[in-house]
Amino acid sequence: MNKIIYLNGKKSVEIEYINKEADTVYIDGIAKDFAVETTSEAKEKFAQSLKRSKYAEFLNSQFENLILLTGAGSSYGIGKTVNENGEDIERKGRLLTHLWDDVCEAISEEKLNKLCEIVKYTDKISDGSGYVKNLEKLLSLANVAKNYVKDPNVDNPISIENIITEIEKIIKQNCTLTLPSNSPHSELLTKITKRKVTLPRVKVFTLNYDTLFEQAGREKNFTMIDGFSFSQPRVFSGRNFDLDIVSRNSSRVKEEDNFVQKVFHIYKPHGSVDWTREGSSIIQREFVQNPLMIYPKDSKYESSYEQPFFEMMSRFQSCVRSENVLLICIGFSFNDKHIVTAISEALEQNPSFQLMVVNKGIDSNSSNFKPIFEAGKRYNNIFLVDEEFADFAIYFPDLKSYNQENTKRIILTLPDESKSI
């Protein structure tokens, strides 16, 4: 079995496995000549190190516009144990397949199977052991069926609409995460924002409902421009994305804006667990009962044309059309039609657009990802990297020359008066 771990046009790093042991490493299609005694572990380590040096070399460049797009892979397995109703519960980021299991546990397998039967969800595992765990497709069928399909069991009928509400509640609960210490979100934010302050701010687009990036920003004392007002209550307006933070010194000599450091923009095209609609306003606050989120279903493409989601998508389309732009996609499956359409258009129309895709595994067989994989073999502006989010945050190059921390702090060691008593 051959596994590509880095691909950029004619450049590639590939590992051939025999009986799950790394046997041969191919660099740009040519087999690396190892000493006879080189172990499988050493070959694997060499390939991974080479891959990381290649993408680090590229990322050491300063791009005028830097955009981050993250999907479920940037939250999976990340979170802290929380106390709910006196019980400690491990709450970590989940994939859609895992959320299916959560729904099954919460409402019972019998009720879930009954829902599948009523809404005509027929995708079964080939061995007949159960349904394919495609929660997005199930919700799509359920939302279509809820207005006119009834449970034929008149004695103990189930309500499709009520089950949809239960499923959405479970999704919201499992996407309400607490940032752990030393999270990759904090580390990556610290690195990607080490840029000249005269360049456009880093733009972070996350398709996840959780607030891990926001928590990381607060933990590291960043200023986040997220579309909401800085006053309370925090009310959404797209115009807030046009704001920036500057320091106005009355004693400055030059009449120019002094942009402050540690500022980034964050956009959430699918909504957030801490957004809610109150009347005609969209408010951001803690402990929201009915969060404003685009739940997984086919109609999420149409939902993206409503506010505030329309504003987020408009900004994303505008960003990928910018000059000298790098878009880094992390943990994104390329299943979202509206996002993929904007990326495809940028690849076709913007000659200065560069795309880096960072996923756990480069899946050349996926129907959604295959066009990107095929393009990655032909074009030098597409980089495909097999890397988990946590490792990517570690190996992302640290641009020391633009370190935003104050390295000239004065530290005074005061005498311990207690010792003189």
Please tell me what DSSP assigns to residue 293.
Answer: B
The C-alpha atoms of residue 4 and residue 12 are separated, in whole angstroms, by: 7
Per-residue three-class SS string for 319-377: HHCCCCEEEEEECCCCCCHHHHHHHHHHHHHCCCEEEEEEECCCCCCCCCCHHHHHHHC
Q: Are residues 161 and 196 in the same domain?
A: no
419 belongs to a structural domain: no
414 belongs to a structural domain: no
Contacts of 99 (CB under 8 A, 6+ apart): 135, 170, 171, 174
Q: Torsion angle of alpha carbons 23, 29, 31, 32, nearest 10°?
A: -100
83 belongs to a structural domain: no
Q: Are residues 235 and 309 in the same domain?
A: yes
Give the relative orientation of helices 109-118 and 160-174 as an angle to the nearest 10 degrees. 130
Residue of 209, 206, 224, 317 lying closest to 267 (CA atoms): 206
Please tell me what DSSP assigns to residue 199.
Answer: S
Name the pairing type of β-strands 382-386 and 2-8. Answer: antiparallel
- The residue out of 115, 146, 174 marking a domain boundary is 174
407 belongs to a structural domain: no
3-state secondary structure of 8: strand
Please tell me what DSSP assigns to residue 58.
Answer: H
Give the pLDDT confidence score for residue 421 in this predicted structure.
Answer: 43
Element (H, E) at 122: none
**Assigned token pair, 98:** 């895992």
Q: Are residues 275 and 244 in the same domain?
A: yes
Q: Are residues 285 and 362 in the same domain?
A: yes
Q: Which residue intervals of 33-87 are DSSP H helices?
A: 40-59
Burial readout 353-369 (b: 16 or more C-beta within 10 A, e: otherwise): bbbbbbbeebbeeeeeb
Name the pairing type of β-strands 382-386 and 353-359. Answer: parallel
357 belongs to a structural domain: yes
**Assigned token pair, 233:** 């209550």
285 belongs to a structural domain: yes
Q: Are residues 111 and 201 in the same domain?
A: no
Q: Which residue intervals of 80-225 are DSSP H helices?
A: 96-107, 109-118, 135-145, 160-174, 184-192, 212-219
In contact, 26 and 32? CB cutoff 8 Å: yes
Please tell me what DSSP assigns to residue 54.
Answer: H
How many domains in the chain?
A: 3
In contact, 262 and 222? CB cutoff 8 Å: yes
Q: Are residues 141 and 42 in the same domain?
A: no
In contact, 77 and 333? CB cutoff 8 Å: no
Give the domain extent around 20.
Answer: 2-50
**Assigned token pair, 134:** 């495609």
The C-alpha atoms of residue 139 and residue 304 are separated, in whole angstroms, by: 17
Query: Looking at residue 331, which CATH number applies to its domain?
Result: 3.40.50.1220
Q: Please give the full DSSP string across 216-238, using - where no structure is assigned.
A: HHHHTT-EEE-SB-SSSSEEB-G
88 belongs to a structural domain: no
Q: Are residues 136 and 265 in the same domain?
A: no
Give the pLDDT confidence score for residue 61 in this predicted structure.
Answer: 86
**Assigned token pair, 44:** 């694997």
Residue of 397, 421, 391 lying closest to 56 (CA atoms): 397
Q: Are residues 264 and 343 in the same domain?
A: yes
Please tell me what DSSP assigns to residue 316.
Answer: H
**Assigned token pair, 227:** 């579309």
**Assigned token pair, 30:** 């040519």
Q: Are residues 282 and 316 in the same domain?
A: yes
3-state secondary structure of 15: strand
pLDDT in tens, 46-89: 999 999 999 999 999 889 999 999 999 999 999 998 777 777 78
- The parts of the chain modelled with pLDDT lower than 50 are 251, 406-410, 420-421
Residue of 395, 392, 388 lying closest to 77 (CA atoms): 388
Q: Are residues 164 and 305 in the same domain?
A: no
Q: Are residues 290 and 200 in the same domain?
A: yes
- The residue out of 127, 152, 174 marking a domain boundary is 174
Give the pLDDT confidence score for residue 82 in this predicted structure.
Answer: 79
In contact, 358 and 392? CB cutoff 8 Å: yes
Q: Are residues 162 and 227 in the same domain?
A: no
306 belongs to a structural domain: yes
